[in-house]
């Protein structure tokens, strides 16, 4: 089993988000200072069966480093076989998802379901660790429910099975993404194990990351939904951790440039037709909360492709333009 010395030391990490953290999204996060990224959640069963759709989640480029690949599955042998296939792509580490609350995943006995069966979780971790030479990490929730919060137990099992680090999302599986993350659980896990602990949940502003480091003593922080339409969040966190002041949010002209660059990267990765379909959600996130964005969002939602919504996007942002603050794009 390979170690993870230094890999998670004081790092800011992009969480694996299904349908979101593809190559173009990861590269946008990296441009704003994200230290480490993970792929979208990858099905071990799909990889072992030779599914081309599943294998596409592994698409990367040399600049997309350091990179972790997140696997999910319920069978130790299949997870081990999938990990071997993943290791052929030379990831920096392999992460095992034991926290996804999505019904389809849970019904298969994977994801957060494994919070209900710590012994099975341990067998899966041990099988993957034995099969590969790269570090193996685990992502969990605080428990299946508030009545069965067992993150500390799961973390100890993961460490015993050979995991190199563990990420703790401070919500229970039955919370989904509602309510608030309990950072105290992250602190308890950090006290209980010797391996690095990554804190996850409710980092929406740069100051949130700083507070998480201070309150939990975690080794690294993981940002998920807070980065949607807000990749400059990583830059703000990096600056605060370096003792520097945060930068102002991008002005309308800068934000438009960021959106267009992200869309162009999406086109390069998967072609115009797929990019336009995939990018619609990002368009809504990038404009959420801006003055008059409701009208634009409603209009854009009725447009078929970027040939229609790009001119509308430019008209909308030109109406918002003010004197630009200092440049924030690298």
Cα–Cα distance measured from residue 222 to residue 233, given in angstroms and rounded to the nearest whole number: 12
**pLDDT (tens digit, 9 = 90+) per residue, 171-222?**
999 898 888 999 999 999 999 999 999 999 999 999 999 999 999 999 999 9
- Residue 284, judged by CB atoms within 10 A of its CB (0-12, 13-18, 19+), counts as middle
Cα–Cα distance measured from residue 136 to residue 160, given in angstroms and rounded to the nearest whole number: 12
CATH 3.20.20.70 residue ranges in the chain? 11-241
**pLDDT (tens digit, 9 = 90+) per residue, 272-305?**
999 998 898 999 999 998 998 988 888 888 888 8
On whether the CB atoms of residues 195 and 164 are closer than 8 A, the answer is yes
Cα–Cα distance measured from residue 169 to residue 183, given in angstroms and rounded to the nearest whole number: 8
Q: Rounded to whole angstroms, what are the CA distances from 222 to 146, 186, 242, 252? A: 22, 12, 17, 27
Q: Which residue has the higher pLDDT, 323 or 80?
A: 80
- Mean pLDDT value across residues 30-51: 97
**pLDDT (tens digit, 9 = 90+) per residue, 58-100?**
999 999 999 999 999 999 999 999 999 999 999 999 999 999 9
Catalytic residue among 100, 214, 218, 321: 100
Q: Is the pLDDT of residue 1 over 60?
A: no
Which CATH superfamily is 11-241 part of? Aldolase class I (3.20.20.70)
CATH 1.10.1200.80 residue ranges in the chain? 252-318
3: confidence class by pLDDT, cuts 50, 70, 90: low
Q: Is the pLDDT of residue 323 over 70?
A: no
Q: Which residue has the higher pLDDT, 322 or 283?
A: 283
* DSSP 3-state of 252: helix
pLDDT of residue 2: 60
Q: Which CATH code fits 252-318?
A: 1.10.1200.80
Q: Which residue do the tokens 């995943």 mark?
A: 105
pLDDT of residue 328: 47
Q: Which residue do the tokens 């599914």 mark?
A: 51
pLDDT of residue 327: 45
Q: Which two tokens stand for residue 86?
A: 């993943």
- What is the per-residue DSSP string for 258-301? HHHHHHHHHHHHH-HHHHHHHHHHHHHHHHTTSTTHHHHHHHHH
Q: Is the pLDDT of residue 330 over 60?
A: no
Lowest mean pLDDT segment, chosen from 138-142, 300-304, 309-313:
300-304
Active site residue 100: yes
Q: Is the pLDDT of residue 146 over 90?
A: no
């Amino acid at each position: 089993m390979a170690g993870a010395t230094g890999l998670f030391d004081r790092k800011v990490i992009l969480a694996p988000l299904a349908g979101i953290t593809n190559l173009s999204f990861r590269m946008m996060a990296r441009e704003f200072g994200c230290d480490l990224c993970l792929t979208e959640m990858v099905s071990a069963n799909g990889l072992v069966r030779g599914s081309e759709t599943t294998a596409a989640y592994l698409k990367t480029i040399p600049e997309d480093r350091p990179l972790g690949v997140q696997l999910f599955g319920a069978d130790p042998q299949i997870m081990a076989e999938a990990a071997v296939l993943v290791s052929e792509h030379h990831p920096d580490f392999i992460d095992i998802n034991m926290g996804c609350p999505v019904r389809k995943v849970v019904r298969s006995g994977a994801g957060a379901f494994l919070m209900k069966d710590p012994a099975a979780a341990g067998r899966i971790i041990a099988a993957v660790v034995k099969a590969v030479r790269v570090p193996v990490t685990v992502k969990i929730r605080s428990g299946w429910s508030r009545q069965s919060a067992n993150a500390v137990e799961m973390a100890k099992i993961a460490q015993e099975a050979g995991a190199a680090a563990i990420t703790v999302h401070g919500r229970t599986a039955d919370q989904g993404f509602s309510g608030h993350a309990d950072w105290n659980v992250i602190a308890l896990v950090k006290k209980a194990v010797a391996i690095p602990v990554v804190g996850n949940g409710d980092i929406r502003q740069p100051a949130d990351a700083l507070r998480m480091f201070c309150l939990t003593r975690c080794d690294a922080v993981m940002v998920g939904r807070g980065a949607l339409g807000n990749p400059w969040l990583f830059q703000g966190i990096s600056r605060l951790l370096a003792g520097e002041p945060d930068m102002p949010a991008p002005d309308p002209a800068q934000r438009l440039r960021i959106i267009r660059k992200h869309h162009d990267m999406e086109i390069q990765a998967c072609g115009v037709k797929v990019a336009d379909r995939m990018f619609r959600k990002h368009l809504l996130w990038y404009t959420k909360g801006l003055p008059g964005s409701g009208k634009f969002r409603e209009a854009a939602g009725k447009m078929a492709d970027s040939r229609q919504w790009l001119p509308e996007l430019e008209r909308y942002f030109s109406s918002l333009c003010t004197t630009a603050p200092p440049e924030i794009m690298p």
